[in-house]
Chains A and B, each alone.
Chain A
């Protein structure tokens, strides 16, 4: 199968997936930021299952308490997530008492978890995350460059892997911008961890194909580079499918049976694993081809050799 020949399609598909994400990202409100990035408090409350509690009931109580800029989300059965400004101990117990007295008079307590993040921490999180992504990219770039030192033009492999990595990260961020708009999904520290994990996975997946290319370039030094790319992708395709498949099985099991606490994290990984597998074949390897053809127009060249 000639993968290199179809590179235009790969690039077009990527652009089609990335564009709506970017659109949602740059148009207001962009990513929906959780308290880890903005500062504030989040309180999760669990009402007894026999009560019929609506999101709007909680919202009106929050308005009565003068927490106008707050959000309420239904996590699962009578389990709600309430985001407010930073609450001190008194305000927190006042909120709980009010919820109990107006919605669930028989309960003694409702709060199952409580988070507080000050704006200082939130700002740092954003800065540190940016640095972490940058540092990880540089570290990986240098490692790949070194690992491919025996192949002609090792720099290209590092660069292509990093571009594929950025591609995957942009897809994940874009999808979350869309999810934030459509499903009120917020990003939090776990989202960042997920993103960094995906960076690791994306590179891992790219390396497997690059490793084949490295081997084949040295074995079949007389063959065309495009041919070698096609051969290497074909040879690693079984592994790519099977690995992504097993990972996705595990992630789906976690999503279905695991708690709601890490749901966002799992969304990141599922989207990221799919994107990572695709980009290794459709982006990273194809960049090597385009670069080998030495002119930018070759992106559009359908046939070669």
Chain B
């Protein structure tokens, strides 16, 4: 009896834990995070929440025989990384990507009903581009912003507290401000329409400056865009301002531009004297604005497709970490022409154009050229290169192209509304089915049936908790498997009660009957469930081969259900039965013997 008390405590604990798990929609313990917005916080498969399921297969062919060639595990893993990066950078939600079998890729996109955009992204052969980054670009006149948008151009002094000297003067005239550090500045006051136009221009220049700062911090070179202001129509005064040199003055229509200064023998010298500007604007009030791009990236038709290899190594001479890149035949030709052109320009004008390597629209690295490279193999060096960084760079370069050509072989899209309907219907069906079963069990088997019903409810909550904790993604077939496993759990109970009934009829006490019933029923329960587990294992294997996630979900769910059903029948039902046997109810043996049907089976047995 003491053992039974312990079992009862375990059952109470199970009820407590499963209620906690199921009633908290979402929970987090340390790094263990579970739950979702679905009922009971279970994680739902695509058929229940809507989404798209795509299976791709390698289409790597031998160029001569045109037959399929086996792919390596590395190629598949590299394929996963590439596809993952492409989908993640596109904002198509959180994909689930996995390798199926040897040469297949499963991509699940929850919530995406029409995956055509995802398919375009996945199918693109290359997202890595090589471009000629031309530096020292000619200014481009900003046509939409003219002198008509400008009200006044005045030189001024910016004080350290962010005020302009001119405004200070107007407020408290005569105050000396020379104690504060000051900056020579140009103030341009725009019309209302002008402010609107200029704010946008200032914003792009400022963001280019920030990008450049970030790039510099990451050890990359990224020349920022600047603004060129020409004051005066003839023989203009030119002022170049970067993103950090343009400032809107409080909330006014005035913009402040820092005037360029140079250091000469330790003395800061203003390059353009304020008087010059005053003179110029009074005689010739004209201003034009030009964009001075830091660089222009020119398309040269070189992409990740032309790259045949990228790998990290160390420089033979210095031992510094380097990235090696190799081009295919076409790539070698284009790369050779590009490097020769850049090198020639360098010799001629000293301007060091770069090769911009761009992955999914973001700069990866922009190396300069030290010599023309016509052999198709190059090394990239950098002062900040570490072993780790060259490894990452090589991986990223490699991931810019699909390592192997792929083709779509299976697609399954489910609309979210249909998914929600299926979920609702399954839940209703499950509840109706379970209620009917519990009703039948209780009416037919009486007290044992009631106990079995309680055990089944505990069983169902254990199953759901396990689904939530592992987590098992619940699909439509999984729901079917769960319901089927309830059937198996019922069967285990029925087997036991039928045995118990026989023992009770032969006049044994309730306690003995319970024990004998359970012991005798066990081999049948065990053998039946083991054979179901064998089927589950084979189903799982079968679905692995096929990439049929529906089948896999079914097998996993059924297997969990079968294992737990053995536990629930033996441990939960038995402990509760033994506990009942201690109560006064046990005096009424008839409460423990099935109604009507007992007679029937007795007749049949004769």
Contacts and interface: CB of A to CB of B under 8 A. Distances in A.
A259 B426 contact: yes
A132 B538 contact: yes
Given A253-B429, A253-B433, A197 B484 contact: yes
A265 B554 CA distance: 12
Interface stretch (A119-127, A168-176, A179-187): A119-127
B604 interface: yes
B546 A246 contact: no
Contact of A250 (B483, B527, B535, B537): B483
A139 B541 CA distance: 13
B436 A253 contact: yes
B69 interface: no
A113 B414 contact: yes
Interface residues on B, range: 35 or more
A97 B484 CA distance: 41
A82 to B, nearest CB: 14
Contacts of A221: none
B429 A254 contact: yes
Given A249-B433, A254-B483, A200 B532 contact: yes
Q: For A205, A237, A241, A261, which residue has the most chain B Cβ atoms within 10 angstroms? A: A261
A163 interface: no
A193 B556 CA distance: 13
Contact of B550 (A121, A190, A241, A258): A190
A204 B433 CA distance: 21
A132 B408 contact: no
Contacts, number: 224
A113 B437 contact: no
Interface string B96-131: 000000000000000001001001000000000000
B411 A234 contact: no
Contact of A112 (B415, B437, B490, B530): B415
B541 A135 contact: yes
Contacts of A115: 411-413
A224 to B, nearest CB: 17
A115 B528 CA distance: 36
Contacts of B502: 235
Q: For B57, B501, B548, which residue has the most chain A Cβ atoms within 10 angstroms? A: B548
A238 B425 contact: no
A59 to B, nearest CB: 23
Q: For A46, A242, A265, which residue has the most chain B Cβ atoms within 10 angstroms? A: A242
Contact of B487 (A114, A189, A246, A257): A246
Contacts of A249: 433, 436-437, 440
B174 interface: no
A139 B548 CA distance: 22
Given A1-B605, A116-B408, A118-B410, A258 B429 contact: yes
B480 A254 contact: yes
Nearest to A197: B484
Contacts of B350: none
B440 A128 contact: no
Given A140-B531, A269-B484, A118 B477 contact: no
A128 B545 contact: yes
A196 interface: yes
Interface string A118-156: 101100110011011001100110011001000000000
Given A147-B527, A204-B528, A234-B604, A199 B498 contact: no
A207 B546 contact: no
A58 interface: no
Contact of B433 (A135, A241, A254): A254
Nearest to B554: A193
Interface string B576-604: 00000000000000000010011011001
A256 interface: yes
Nearest to B418: A112
Contacts of A136: 534-535, 538-539
Contacts of B529: 204
B495 A144 contact: no
A245 interface: yes
Q: Decide if the interface of chain A is mainly helix, strand, loop or mixed.
A: helix
Contacts of B498: 235-236, 238-239, 242
A143 B531 contact: yes
Contact of B601 (A144, A237, A251, A269): A237
Contacts of B528: 203-205, 207-208
B606 A1 contact: yes
A166 interface: no
B9 interface: no
A200 B535 contact: yes
Nearest to A245: B440
A201 B531 CA distance: 9
A215 interface: yes
A128 B524 contact: no
A103 interface: no
A18 interface: no
Contacts of B412: 113-116
Contacts of A125: 546, 548
Nearest to B495: A239
B218 interface: no
A168 B594 CA distance: 30
Interface in A1-51: 1, 44, 46
Q: For A116, A197, A241, which residue has the most chain B Cβ atoms within 10 angstroms? A: A197
A265 B494 CA distance: 25
B136 interface: no
B524 A246 contact: no
B567 interface: no
A128 B528 CA distance: 25
Contacts of A241: 597, 601
A305 B601 CA distance: 24
Contacts of B524: 207-208, 211-212
A193 B541 CA distance: 13
Contact of B414 (A112, A132, A239): A112
B409 interface: yes
A164 B134 CA distance: 79
B426 A258 contact: yes
B184 to A, nearest CB: 61
A131 B484 CA distance: 24
A116 B412 CA distance: 6
Q: For B412, B484, B494, B538, which residue has the most chain A Cβ atoms within 10 angstroms? A: B538
Q: For A118, A144, A189, A258, which residue has the most chain B Cβ atoms within 10 angstroms? A: A258
Contacts of B598: 238
A53 interface: no
Interface string B373-413: 00000000000000000000000000000000001111111
A157 B408 CA distance: 46
**Across the A-B interface, the 9 shortest Cβ-Cβ residue pairs:** A253-B433, A200-B535, A234-B605, A211-B524, A238-B601, A257-B429, A204-B528, A250-B433, A116-B411
22 contacts: A1-B604, A113-B418, A114-B411, A114-B412, A114-B413, A115-B413, A117-B410, A128-B546, A131-B542, A135-B541, A136-B534, A136-B538, A139-B537, A193-B539, A193-B551, A196-B538, A197-B484, A204-B488, A234-B604, A246-B494, A254-B426, A259-B422
Given A204-B532, A241-B601, A258-B426, 13 more contacts: A89-B116, A121-B410, A125-B548, A140-B531, A140-B534, A207-B528, A208-B524, A238-B594, A250-B486, A253-B432, A254-B430, A256-B432, A257-B432
